[in-house]
Chains A and B, each alone.
Chain A
């Protein structure tokens, strides 16, 4: 037995679900701030509205399931789901998109499977995938960073007008001025241009890409904070980002005209959000450290495959959901050796 090499006190307070969820919520704040700074008030409104709905739906469904209301509301899991969904939605998504999404996340993806801890799929990503498949028009109109609409001056659509746009009281034509393709979109649907030409000619890549770099850096900060606080280990995010970097480097070296560089893949879209906040969900990812690495590598490769050859420009939700499906299988083959036993029980013979 290893000796404890720190000074007293040696007591630990076991962290509860609520503590962990509060930390995760706290760690999304830099990302939320960066998104608000570059893309306007929409994200904050979406997050607020999603949290409100999530608490409402959670209360209703817990009541229907005849479970203790206070206990389930106080674990903050509904809030975190709503936060992640709100961050993933386009900033000008209409109110009913969030409504449908939160309903699907909380009621169908979480509670119909038995509640927190029983859900095989990440609720926020189920909701996001469903919305993306169902409402492609609303879900693919992303806000443009302010540098593209107003140049150097920090000027985003006013709070009240954004609120009106989301809740349908402002003419949608106004919003069209503030939305455009995302970098991943531009890279995916570029016609016959080479990668270098896309970087030079498409404004969102030539001038606006900084916004995505900053948002990714903010999520990275949040993720590092969570690793520092030991909410999750380095394994999953490192495997996601590492495998994505490796596979995109290979293709970029093979043909730099047809494929985007690894840095682009790591910073565009929701890669950082996905790697640190979505793939690390303890319920739906693999359990052992070795399992987490396999799980993360799977996500990284799937992200690249779907981004490169799939029908949708970004791929985090689909990649995470597909690997969620594999997590029990991975667990079965990566069960670590238990202390005092010679061999680990793995596979069909050892497992259930």
Chain B
């Protein structure tokens, strides 16, 4: 069982990462990752929704008729998104204003619906929870990396405005990388997000290819050599 959970975690974080491999939820991913704080804010909100929806969908999986499962999933996801939206309005109002329409739009994030339909409605609660958490963290990680890239390139700073999320203690977290940075608007605009996303995916593929090559070098018999097929009786 623990091996299973480990595989689920690795899938969510790396092997089947919702942003890098499944390419789901690209709309918020590309739209709000202008800064690290936006990325973390949206990442946490998406993760919480994913946790809640996976938990609920998995718990009720035996009572949901196959034919109307999608509307039911949407209702469940929408209720969690509404709750998260109200929470953000209460505690991180400024960030809520910055993220704007992309908080309600989490409902339509394919990553969440995809996990509900592909995993949670077929698996027990514990596995679904782990899956939701790891998929959410994997998504958040990509958001943060992309946000950091774009913030550093576009504005020449890192971790600006973190107090919007973490309160006054985060006021001093801002790191100025380059003084007098002229600003690189392209990185902040959506095209920069597409290019950045492409580079991150390319990086993941390079790392995967290296790992595979190393694995193949360690044990050459491991599935690399094609097996001879018996064609005679």
Question: Which A residues fall within an 8 A CB radius of B?
Answer: 96, 100, 108, 112, 130, 133-136, 138
Contact = CB atoms under 8 A, between A and B. Distances in A.
B182 interface: yes
B102 interface: no
A127 to B, nearest CB: 11
SS of B interface (majority): helix
Contacts, number: 20
A133 B189 contact: yes
Contact of B195 (A96, A108, A135, A138): A108
A112 B189 CA distance: 20
Give the most central of A130, A133, A134: most B CB within 10 Å: A134
A134 B184 contact: yes
B189 A135 contact: no
Contacts of B184: 100, 134-135
Contacts of B182: 96, 135, 138
Nearest to B186: A134
Given A130-B191, A134-B185, A135-B185, 11 more contacts: A96-B182, A100-B184, A108-B195, A130-B186, A133-B186, A134-B183, A134-B184, A134-B186, A134-B187, A135-B182, A135-B184
Chain B interface bracket (under 10, 10 to 19, 20 to 34, 35 or more): 10 to 19
B149 to A, nearest CB: 14
Contacts of A100: 184
Nearest to A104: B186
A130 B182 CA distance: 15
B202 to A, nearest CB: 8
Contacts of A136: 185
Interface string B167-198: 00000000000000011111101010001001
A133 B188 CA distance: 11
Nearest to B195: A108
Give the most central of A130, A136, A138: most B CB within 10 Å: A130
Contacts of B187: 134
Contacts of B189: 133
A95 to B, nearest CB: 12
Contacts of B198: 112
A138 B187 CA distance: 17
Nearest to B188: A134
